[in-house]
Amino acid sequence: MSRDRDFTSVGRALAAPARSAFLNLLMDGTRRPAGELARAAGVSASTASEHLAVLVDAGLVTCEARGRRRYYALAGPRVATALEALGALADPVPVSGYRRSREMRTLAAARLCYDHLAGRLGVALTDAWTHRGWLTDRESLTLADAGATGLRALGVDVDGALRARRPTTRACPDWTERRTHLAGALGAAVGTRFLAAGWVVRHPSGRGLNTTDSGRELLRETWGIELTDRSPAT
């Protein structure tokens, strides 16, 4: 059996700015109605429907009907991982205006990569946990016993992550930091805990996250992490 892959169908599905805008919005793991995606991409409802049908046919996006409305989401964490990795190769969207510049700074500082923490926050936590021996091997990010104990103490559902059918840990390429952050079932459990505890909150504009005062205190006092503002990644 050939191990080669035909990338053309996926390439065609990605080859439109509107579809790229849709996928960027859905990278935080949310389900969004077609109308919201159309407004964000600056296209008509009919045009958005055509683009979304292409993404669904390519297996990149799923569609769920709720009454008269249709909601769209990424087709799972594998798609999010592939798109995050492609982000390291893709050109950045041109930043024009103060509002867009702030949005890009927010994404670079902290964001959800489908269901786990990414950006400087995700990479800094991965670095700190590797340095402490909570995660071993910077390439595979295997969970150590000390890490399981430490994360349980934070309220992270480690046992649920260990029982999950998906890999417990995985190194996910971070397109803004050009390094890896923690993904997999454990990464998702960490993301869920940070949101539930109020250490991060979703940014109103999309997939970006804001670190709260309690979150910054946790990062500083527990792992010595100070997140400073920087210009958007280019």
134-162: pLDDT as tens digits: 999 878 899 999 999 999 999 999 999 99
pLDDT at 101 over 60: no
80-90: pLDDT as tens digits: 878 877 876 66
- End-to-end CA distance of the chain: give it in Å, rounded: 40
67 or 216: which leads in pLDDT: 216
How far is 129 from 115, CA to CA, in rounded Å? Answer: 19
CA angle at 146 for the pair 141 and 151, rounded to the nearest 5°: 80
Q: What is the pLDDT of residue 54?
A: 92
Query: Burial, 173: exposed, middle or buried (Cβ in 10 Å; 0-12, 13-18, 19+)?
Result: buried
* pTM check: above 0.85: no
For the chain, what is the mean pLDDT? 84
Average pLDDT score over residue span 88-96: 61
Q: What is the pLDDT of residue 131?
A: 93
